[in-house]
Amino acid sequence: MDTLMIVLRLIHIFAGIIWLGFGLFLLLLLIPTARQLGPEGQAFMKGFLKHSAFNKIMPVVSLLTTIAGAWLYYKVSDGFNADYMGSHGGIVLSIGVLAGLLAFGHGATATGPMSEKMVKLNDALDAQDGPPSPEQIAELQSVQRKMGLHGRISVALMIIAVAGMVSARYV
C-alpha cells in the first residue's frame, strides 16, 4: 500500500471538489441570484466577499489541489518518463494537468486580485459620504464584469483539468 499516494489523492480530490464546487456555485447560482435581487443582491455579494472566509479559502484549496496534483503527476508519470508522457493516457493527463496549472495561475493573477479589488472598492464607497459618483458606479460595474469573465475562465479551465484527469487512464 502506498500511503503517500492515498494521502495525495485525498488532498487533491477533496481540495479540488471545494475549489471547483465553489466556482460552479458562484457562477451558476449565487451571482445570477444576486443579480436578480438587484440592490439587495449587490449588498449580499458585497457582504459575502468582505465577511466570509471565501477569499481565504479559495487560495488555500487551489494551492493544496495544485501541489498535491503536481506531486501525483510526477509519481504517476514515473518522474516524467518519456514512454508514459508519450502514451495516450500520458498526453490526456498532461492536458488536464496543464489546464489545472493554468486555472491556478489564472486564479492567482486575475480572479483573486479582482475579488480583492471589489472588496476595496466597496469599502471605499461605504466610507464616503453620499452616493457613489457615476465614475465610481462605472468602475464598480467594470470590476463586476471582469470578475464574471475571469470566474468563467477559471471554472472552464478547472472543468478541462477534471476531464483530462478523469479520462486519462481510459484512453
DSSP secondary structure of the chain: --HHHHHHHHHHHHHHHHHHHHHHHIIIIIHHHHHHHTHHHHHHHHHHHHHSSHHHHHHHHHHHHHHHHHHHHHHHTTTT-HHHHHSHHHHHHHHHHHHHHHHHHHIIIIIHHHHHHHHHHHHHHHHSSSSPPHHHHHHHHHHHHHHHHHHHHHHHHHHHHHHHHHHGGG-
Q: Where are the domains of the chain?
A: 3-170
C-beta neighbour count of 42 within 10 angstroms: 15
Confidence at residue 77, expressed as pLDDT on a 0 to 100 scale: 96
Query: Are the C-beta atoms of residues 8 and 71 closer than 8 Å to each other?
Result: yes
Whether 157 shows a pLDDT value over 90: the answer reads yes
Model pTM greater than 0.95?
A: no
User: What's the chain's average pLDDT?
Assistant: 93
Q: What is the pLDDT of residues 44-55, one digit of tens each?
A: 998 998 899 998
Going from the C-alpha of 74 to that of each of 4, 38, 70, 79, 119, the distances in angstroms are 13, 48, 6, 5, 38
Q: What is the pLDDT of residues 43-95, one digit of tens each?
A: 899 899 889 999 899 999 999 999 999 999 999 999 999 999 999 999 999 99
Confidence at residue 152, expressed as pLDDT on a 0 to 100 scale: 95
Residue type, 33: T
Q: What angle, rounded to 10 degrees, do the helices at 134-167 and 112-127 form? A: 160
C-beta neighbour count of 73 within 10 angstroms: 20
User: Region 137-143: what's the mean pLDDT?
Assistant: 89
